[in-house]
Chain A
Amino acid sequence: MTRRIALRTLLVSLAFAAATVIGWWALPVSAAAFGAMTSRDRSGPIVAGIAAMIAWSGLLLYDAAFGPVGTVAATLGGILQIRPIAVYMLTLAFAGLVALCAAIVARSAARLTRGDGL
C-alpha cells in the first residue's frame, strides 16, 4: 500500500515537473486536473501538494547540476532580506500550496458535479 502511494506520488511528480516546463501556471492546472480525476480519493490533494514540492525540488536539483543554485538562494534571500534556506522553502511552499489548493477545489467541484457533496 505504502509503496503504491509512493510510486503514485512519484509519477504525479514527474507529470508536474513536465507541466512546469510549459510554465509555472501549468502546475495548478495539472494539480486541479489530478484533483478532479482522483475526486473519490480523499488523499488526492495531499498527494498533489507533496508531488508538486517533489517536482520542483527535482527541477532545482537539475538547476544545481548546471550552476550555483546556492548563490541564487543567497542572492534572492539578500534581496528579500530572508535567509537563503527560506528561499528554498518559499519556492517549495509556493508549489505545494498552489497544487494542494487547486486539487482541493477541483476535487470538491468534481464531487459537487457528480452530486457526491463536497
Chain B
Amino acid sequence: MTRPRSTPAVTVVLATIVLVGTLYVGGRSVAGAPALGPLLDPVRGVWALARTSTPPRAAELVIPGLGSDVDVRFDERGVPHIFAHTVADAVRALGYVHARDRLFQMELQTRAVAGTLAELVGDRAFPVDREARAQGLADAAMRGYERLGATAPGRILTEAYADGVNAYVAGMTAAELPLEFRLLGARPQAWKSEYTAFLFARMGLTLAYSSGELRRPAVEALIGRTAADALFPVNNPIQEPIQPNGQRAPRLDWKPIPPPGPSNPAAAMTALAERDAHARFVAAIGGVVDAGMARASHLTAADRDQTDDVAVGSNNWAVAPPRTAAGRALLAGDPHLALTLPSIWYEAHLVVADSLDVYGVTIPGAPIPPIGFNRDVAWSVTNTGADVADYFLEAVDDVARPRRYSVDGEWRPLRERVEVVRGKGGRVIAVDTVLETHRGPMLRNGANWISRRWTVTDGYDAVAPFLGAATSTSVRELLAATDAFLAPAQNFVSADRGGHIALRSTGRFPVRARSANRGDVLIDGSASANDWTSWWTPAEYPQAYDPPQGFVASANQQPKDPRVDPRYLGWDWPSPWRAMRINQMLREDSAVTPDKMRRMQTDPVSAQTAHFLPAFIAAANAAADRDPVLKQAAEVLSAWDGRLVGENTQSVLYDAALGELAARTWDELVVTAGGERPRRVDTPQSAILLQLMQEPDSPWWDDRATPNVRERRDDILRASVTAAWQRVVARLGPPGPNWRWGASRHALARHLLGIAALSRDSIPVTGGPGSVAPSSGDGNHSASWRMVVELGDEVRAWGIYPGGQSGNPVSRRYDEFIGRWSAGTLDTLRFPRRADELDLGVTSSTIRFRGVP
C-alpha cells in the first residue's frame, strides 16, 4: 500500500489564502460591492429572481386583519383587479400587491423623506439625510398623522394598507428579495401606516416647493429690483388662464421691460451660494434617488436648460358632450414627472360592492389612486404651482447659536429638534439640532436665519379627498370631496356621465398680510402682522363648471387672469405654450373623439414656434446675401413645417437657435465675480423673451461681451442662428439625416438608484420645447401617465405609462409599456364589474386572500 502523494505546502498556503479571500468576499460587502455568496447563490441569490419574475398562476394567501376573502385577478397587463367586501380589505390587498411588485421603491421613497437613506445605501446619502431632516418633512408628516382621529380614512386605510404590506414582507422568501436590496446588502423594514403621510409630503416637496425668494436676491443684485420684477413677473404676459376668462384667443399683455439696473456681482455670488445651500436637498435627492423629479421642481429653475422653461408639462382637459362626436363627456390627463424605473405609478382597480369601483394609477405607498375614474366620474390632475412657501427673515438673539427669536419686540424660544443621522449598521454619523420658529424650520443663510412657512408641512388627511373622489358619482360630488385637499395644490379636471365637466385649482392657498402681500420676496419675520392670515375658500379657487366654451383645460399655466382676480397666487408661471395649443385644438374641433384626445397628448406642434421661427427666418434672410451661413440657415428654417417629429431635420437648428437666443439675450443674468466660472443666476420664461422681442432697440439685446458695439434685436437673432448653425454642424455634421430630431431628443427612464443597466434610455419621443408633450433636454422628464376616458353608459378608458407593473428588472413587466408609450398609443384599460367578467384568457394570475380567523 502506498501513501498518497502529499500536497505541496505552497499549494496549501495558497489554497488557504484563496479560501479566506473567497469566504471574505462571499460573506461581506467589499468596497461597496455586495457579498458574492448570497448574491450568486443559485437557490436564494440573484438567480432566484428568474423564478420569482413571474408570479404563480394562482395563489392562496393570508393577510392578518382581513375581514373576509378578497379576490385579486391580474389582467394581461399585470393590473390587479381587487374584489373585496370592504374598502379596508381592498386596501389591504392593494398593500400586499404593491409590496410584492414595488417593495424597494416604497422603502427608498420612505427613507428619502425620513432622512434614513444612509442606513440603506451608505454614507454617500448622508447629505441628503441631513437636509431631509432639516426640512422636517417626516417630522411634520408624523405630527399631522398623529392628529388624525381614529375614524379618519387617512388612519383607517393606511393602517389596513400597512397590514397588507407587512403581510407580504413577513411571508417573503429569500428568493423574492428585490434585486436592489441584494445589491445593497439590506432587508426591507416593516411598513408603518404613517409612511403614507411621508409619501404625500414627498409629493409636496416635488410639486409645491417653491423657493423663488431664495433666487431673487441674486437676480436683484445683478439687475435691480425693477428689472427683476419685469423679468420674473407675478403675472405671465401671455394670458391663457386655467379658469376661462371668456376670450377666444390668448391675450398678449406686452409691457416695456425696464433696462437692467446697476449690477453687484459680488452680492449676486453670495446670494447664489446661499440659494445653493437650499437647493442642496432637492439636488442631492436627484443624485441619489430620482434625479428628474428633483430637477423638475421650481427649486432648480436657475439651473434649467437655457433654451426655455423647464420641460415641466402636465396637461389635462375635459370636453362636454356637445363638442364630442359621440355626445359623451371625454377626459384626458397626462401628468408629467421624472421618468423612473420602476415608474411612480402602479395601475390598480379596486372594487367593493355598492361603495367603491375605482380604476386608476396608484402610488406605491398610498392606498387610493390620485388619478382615475369610476363608473360615473373621471378626473386627472396637473400641478398648480402656486406659491405656498414663504421665507421669513428672523431676528435671533445670537447668530452663532440662536436660542430665541424676536416677534413684535418679544423674545420667543426656538423649538429644538434633535436629529440623529445614522449610516449602515446603525452607526451614528451626525447629531444635528434643527431650530424652528412658529412658522417652520430655520435655515441659516450666511449671516441670516430664515424660517420657512410651507403648507405641505401642515399635515392633513390626504387620503380622504382621494377616497371621496373615488366614490363620487358626479363632478359636483367630486368637487365637494376635494374641498379637503390641501397640498400639493393640484388642478383637478373632471367629467361625469351626466355630461358635466369641471376644473378647479385646489389646495391650501395662503392669504398673506397686506404688509407682505407678495410671496416671491423675503418677508420680515420680526412682525407677526406679516404672517399668513387665513386661506382662500374653495369658492375663491380658480375654477369652472360647465363653461360655455364646452371644454376645460389646464397645463400648469397661471390659473386666473389677473384682470378677473388680481390677488397674488404665485409668480413666474410657465409660459402657456401647451395651454395655447391644447385650447386651440379644442376650440377648432367640435367633434372630439377619444382617439383625437390620444393624438393631442403627443401633438408635435409647439405654439411657441409660431412666434419665434418667423423672427429667426426674417433676421437671417435680411443678411443672407452677404452671409452664406445665414443663407443656408434661413433655407433650412424656412423648410420646416414646425412639427417636432422624429424624422424632421430642421427643428434641431431652431431648437439650438432658441437656446442661443436666450443665452445671449439674458447675459446680464450671468455672474462671473470672484474668479469663479460664469454661472447663470436664472433664466426668464420664454414668454418674457417674446415680450422683449416687441422692443427691437431694448438695452437687453446689447451683448455685454462687445462693449464698443450696441447690438439690437436682429443682431442677436442673427448671432443666435449663426452660432446654432455652427454648433449643430460641429455636433452632427452638415445638414442631412444626422439632423433628425429623433436622433437628438429621447426619453430616459432612470432607475431609482441611477443604475444605468436598470434604466432605459434613448426612448424615441415626439415633441419638444413648448409642445403638448415637451421633452426635456436630458429626456428624464415626460408624460408619466397618459389616460383618456369616455363617460358613456359604459365607461371606456385607455392609458399607458412608461414602465411596467413590476419593479423586478428581470420581469418582462418591468418595462413592457415603454414601447407603446413611446409610439404614443394607449392600452385599453379593462374595467370589469365582477371578477368573473375578466375572461380567463386575459387573467395572467390570481390571488385569493383569506383572513386569519
Q: Is there contact, CB below 8 Å, between B19 and A28?
A: yes
Please tell me if B756 contacts chain A, counting CB pairs below 8 Å: yes
B631 nearest CB across to chain A (Å): 47
A22 nearest CB across to chain B (Å): 9
Chain B residues near A97 (CB-CB < 8 A): 18, 22
Q: Is there contact, CB below 8 Å, between B43 and A59?
A: yes
Q: Is there contact, CB below 8 Å, between B4 and A41?
A: yes
Q: Is there contact, CB below 8 Å, between A116 and B19?
A: no
- Please name the residue on chain B nearest to A70 by beta carbon: B50
Q: Is there contact, CB below 8 Å, between B7 and A104?
A: yes
Q: Is there contact, CB below 8 Å, between A63 and B15?
A: no
- Please name the residue on chain B nearest to A81 by beta carbon: B757
Return the CB mask of B26-49 against A: 1 if under 8 Å, else 0: 110000000011101111111111
Q: Is there contact, CB below 8 Å, between B40 and A24?
A: yes
Please tell me if A15 contacts chain B, counting CB pairs below 8 Å: no
Q: Is there contact, CB below 8 Å, between B22 and A69?
A: no
Q: Is there contact, CB below 8 Å, between B47 and A91?
A: yes
Q: Which residues of chain A in 78-118 are interfacial with respect to chain B, using CB atoms and an 8 Å cutoff?
A: 78-79, 81, 90-91, 94-95, 97-98, 100-102, 104-105, 107-108, 111, 116-118
B573 nearest CB across to chain A (Å): 41
- Please name the residue on chain A nearest to B50 by beta carbon: A67
> Which of B3, B9, B22, B809 is the most central at the interface, judged by chain A CB atoms within 10 Å of its CB?
B22
A40 nearest CB across to chain B (Å): 5
- Please name the residue on chain B nearest to A117 by beta carbon: B6
Q: Is there contact, CB below 8 Å, between B51 and A76?
A: no
Q: Is there contact, CB below 8 Å, between B810 and A68?
A: yes
Bound CA span A76–B33, Å: 12
Q: Which residues of chain B in 1-24 are interfacial with respect to chain A, using CB atoms and an 8 Å cutoff?
A: 3-9, 11-12, 15-16, 18-19, 22-23
Return the CB mask of A41-67 against B: 1 if under 8 Å, else 0: 110010000000000100110111011
Bound CA span A77–B11, Å: 32
Please tell me if B758 contacts chain A, counting CB pairs below 8 Å: yes
Contact A79 to B757, CB < 8 A, known contacts A24-B40, A101-B22:
yes
Contact A25 to B16, CB < 8 A, known contacts A20-B43, A64-B50, A79-B183:
no
- Interface of B, helix, strand, loop or mixed by DSSP: helix
- Please name the residue on chain B nearest to A62 by beta carbon: B42
Q: Is there contact, CB below 8 Å, between B757 and A98?
A: no
Q: Is there contact, CB below 8 Å, between B19 and A105?
A: yes
Contact of A108 among B12, B44, B812 (CB under 8 A): B12
Q: Is there contact, CB below 8 Å, between A40 and B43?
A: no
Please tell me if B755 contacts chain A, counting CB pairs below 8 Å: yes
Please tell me if A71 contacts chain B, counting CB pairs below 8 Å: yes
Chain B residues near A63 (CB-CB < 8 A): 42, 47-48, 50-51
Chain A residues near B245 (CB-CB < 8 A): none
Chain A residues near B51 (CB-CB < 8 A): 63, 66-67
Return the CB mask of B46-66 against A: 1 if under 8 Å, else 0: 111111111000000000000
A52 nearest CB across to chain B (Å): 11
Bound CA span A98–B679, Å: 55
Q: Is there contact, CB below 8 Å, between B15 and A105?
A: yes
Bound CA span A66–B37, Å: 22
Chain B residues near A21 (CB-CB < 8 A): 43
Chain A residues near B52 (CB-CB < 8 A): 67
B48 nearest CB across to chain A (Å): 7
> Which of B23, B37, B38, B48 is the most central at the interface, judged by chain A CB atoms within 10 Å of its CB?
B37
Chain A residues near B53 (CB-CB < 8 A): 67-68, 71
Bound CA span A8–B11, Å: 24
Bound CA span A17–B54, Å: 24
Please tell me if A72 contacts chain B, counting CB pairs below 8 Å: yes
Q: Is there contact, CB below 8 Å, between B15 and A56?
A: no
Q: Is there contact, CB below 8 Å, between A101 and B41?
A: no
> Which of A76, A81, A94, A116 is the most central at the interface, judged by chain B CB atoms within 10 Å of its CB?
A76
Q: Which residues of chain B in 179-201 are interfacial with respect to chain A, using CB atoms and an 8 Å cutoff?
A: 179, 183
Q: Is there contact, CB below 8 Å, between A56 and B42?
A: yes
Bound CA span A68–B49, Å: 9
Q: Is there contact, CB below 8 Å, between B758 and A98?
A: no
B7 nearest CB across to chain A (Å): 5
Q: Is there contact, CB below 8 Å, between A28 and B23?
A: yes
Q: Is there contact, CB below 8 Å, between B47 and A78?
A: no
Q: Is there contact, CB below 8 Å, between A118 and B8?
A: yes
Contact A75 to B16, CB < 8 A, known contacts A23-B41, A94-B26:
no
Chain B residues near A62 (CB-CB < 8 A): 42
Contact A72 to B42, CB < 8 A, known contacts A63-B48, A94-B26, A117-B6:
no
Bound CA span A91–B8, Å: 28
> Which of A66, A72, A94 is the most central at the interface, judged by chain B CB atoms within 10 Å of its CB?
A72
Bound CA span A75–B51, Å: 15
Chain A residues near B36 (CB-CB < 8 A): 90, 94
B173 nearest CB across to chain A (Å): 12
Q: Is there contact, CB below 8 Å, between B50 and A71?
A: yes
A81 nearest CB across to chain B (Å): 8
B121 nearest CB across to chain A (Å): 15
Bound CA span A66–B190, Å: 29
Q: Is there contact, CB below 8 Å, between B15 and A100?
A: yes
Contact of A78 among B22, B48, B758 (CB under 8 A): B758
Q: Is there contact, CB below 8 Å, between A101 and B27?
A: no
Chain A residues near B54 (CB-CB < 8 A): 66-67
Contact of A72 among B18, B41, B43, B47 (CB under 8 A): B47
Contact of B12 among A20, A68, A118 (CB under 8 A): A118
A91 nearest CB across to chain B (Å): 5
> Which of B3, B4, B18, B23 is the most central at the interface, judged by chain A CB atoms within 10 Å of its CB?
B4
Bound CA span A77–B44, Å: 18
Q: Is there contact, CB below 8 Å, between B758 and A102?
A: no
Q: Is there contact, CB below 8 Å, between B38 and A118?
A: no
Bound CA span A75–B756, Å: 10
Contact of B22 among A72, A79, A94 (CB under 8 A): A94
Contact A20 to B40, CB < 8 A, known contacts A40-B4, A67-B52, A118-B8:
no
Bound CA span A107–B36, Å: 25
Q: Which residues of chain B in 307-359 are interfacial with respect to chain A, using CB atoms and an 8 Å cutoff?
A: none
Q: Is there contact, CB below 8 Å, between B6 and A111?
A: yes
Contact of B810 among A72, A100, A102 (CB under 8 A): A72
Chain A residues near B19 (CB-CB < 8 A): 28, 98, 101-102, 104-105
Q: Is there contact, CB below 8 Å, between A118 and B757?
A: no
Q: Is there contact, CB below 8 Å, between B6 and A118?
A: yes
Chain B residues near A90 (CB-CB < 8 A): 36, 40
Bound CA span A104–B54, Å: 41
- Please name the residue on chain A nearest to B4 by beta carbon: A42
Q: Is there contact, CB below 8 Å, between A75 and B758?
A: yes
Bound CA span A67–B809, Å: 13
Bound CA span A23–B38, Å: 8
Q: Which residues of chain A in 21-43 are interfacial with respect to chain B, using CB atoms and an 8 Å cutoff?
A: 21, 23-25, 28, 40-42
Q: Is there contact, CB below 8 Å, between B15 and A104?
A: yes
Q: Is there contact, CB below 8 Å, between B15 and A69?
A: no
Chain B residues near A60 (CB-CB < 8 A): 42, 47
Bound CA span A63–B51, Å: 6
- Please name the residue on chain B nearest to A22 by beta carbon: B43
Q: Is there contact, CB below 8 Å, between A24 and B46?
A: no
B808 nearest CB across to chain A (Å): 10
Contact of B49 among A67, A102, A107 (CB under 8 A): A67
What are some 30 contacts across the A-B interface (CB < 8 A)? A24-B37, A25-B37, A28-B19, A28-B23, A41-B4, A42-B7, A59-B42, A62-B42, A63-B42, A63-B48, A67-B54, A67-B810, A68-B50, A77-B757, A79-B183, A79-B755, A94-B37, A95-B40, A97-B18, A97-B22, A98-B23, A98-B26, A101-B18, A101-B19, A104-B19, A105-B15, A108-B12, A116-B3, A118-B6, A118-B8
A28-B19, A45-B15, A108-B12 given; name 13 further pairs at CB < 8 Å.
Answer: A23-B44, A41-B4, A67-B49, A67-B53, A68-B812, A75-B757, A90-B40, A94-B40, A101-B15, A104-B7, A104-B11, A105-B16, A111-B6
What 6 pairs across the A-B complex have the smallest Cβ distances? A78-B757, A67-B50, A101-B19, A59-B42, A104-B15, A24-B41
- List residues of chain B with CB under 8 Å of any chain A CB: 3-9, 11-12, 15-16, 18-19, 22-23, 26-27, 36-38, 40-54, 179, 183, 755-758, 809-810, 812
